[in-house]
Amino acid sequence: MAPCCGKFYVCRLCHDGEEKHQLDRFKVREVRCAACSTIQEAQQTCKECDVKFGEYYCDVCHLFDKDKKQYHCQPCGICRIGPKEKYFHCTKCNLCLATDLKDNHKCVENVSRQNCPVCMEDIHTSRIGAHVLPCGHLLHKTCFDDMCITGAYRCPLCMHSAFNMKEFWEDQDKEIAQSPMPTEYRDTTVKIICNDCQAHCTVSFHVLGLKCSSCGSYNTAQYGGLIAAPAVNT
């Protein structure tokens, strides 16, 4: 029973899709058995006919579900799909991450409490998994995949490269080497800031890309105009 409106729904998502408010899963106190219609305290098995409401039941979130190796994460405050041994809770990021990311990701404090910068929907309680970018920001996995399909390669928040771009930069090097600038621009330089390493550099101007002299990235932004080469006295 939804404590907010006193109506029975199969799940909170069904409730939220029908009503103009959201169900607080933590305040659910009563359920009604679909087999015998007995209204009773929220629990895993019907007290009247012994029907099991779900293979998995959490008495905190009041989640009834098939067995998907779920576990309740106390710091996250919600249930996660496991198995638990394949995940750990990062206290700084404040969410559960795959164990292969332990000591192998950049922490951003409370990052999961921010909405996905692509779809602007919640990440922390979403049933869609989160993808951790090299900069530490999060996207829904599906949003990251869509972003890659469109050719976008940068974090929507900080503009850092969203994945390893080494091969792309090497291809860019070859293309620039094969495309020399006209004589009048050959010694022209520009000032840039690198979105990957944050270095400020003065580099050779080229219409195909401006390479960071610090880390080799082409994920850069120009500021200011073209700087012409000083005149040579003859």
Q: What is the pLDDT of residue 228?
A: 86
Asked whether residue 6 is assigned to any structural domain, the reply reads no
Do both 203 and 184 map to the same domain?
yes
pTM: 0.78
Do both 62 and 78 map to the same domain?
no
- Residue 16 is encoded by which pair of tokens? 């939220």
Q: Which domain holds residue 113?
A: 72-149
Q: What is the pLDDT of residue 230?
A: 75
CATH code of the domain covering residue 212: 2.20.28.10
Could you tell me where the beta strands, DSSP code E, fall in 99-229?
130-132, 138-140, 189-194, 200-204, 220-227
Q: Is the dihedral of CA 61, 66, 71, 75 positive or negative?
A: negative
Which alpha helices (H) appear in 150-205, and where do they start and end?
A: 166-177
Asked whether residue 121 is assigned to any structural domain, the reply reads yes
Do both 37 and 99 map to the same domain?
no
CATH code of the domain covering residue 86: 3.30.40
Q: What is the pLDDT of residue 191?
A: 97
Divide the 234 residues of the chain into consecutive groups of 10 and give the mean pLDDT of each group: 92 91 93 95 95 95 94 95 94 92 91 93 90 94 95 95 95 96 92 97 96 97 88 60
- From 39, 67, 95, give the residue that closes a domain: 67
Q: What is the pLDDT of residue 232?
A: 62
- From 67, 85, 114, give the residue that closes a domain: 67
Q: What is the pLDDT of residue 160?
A: 97
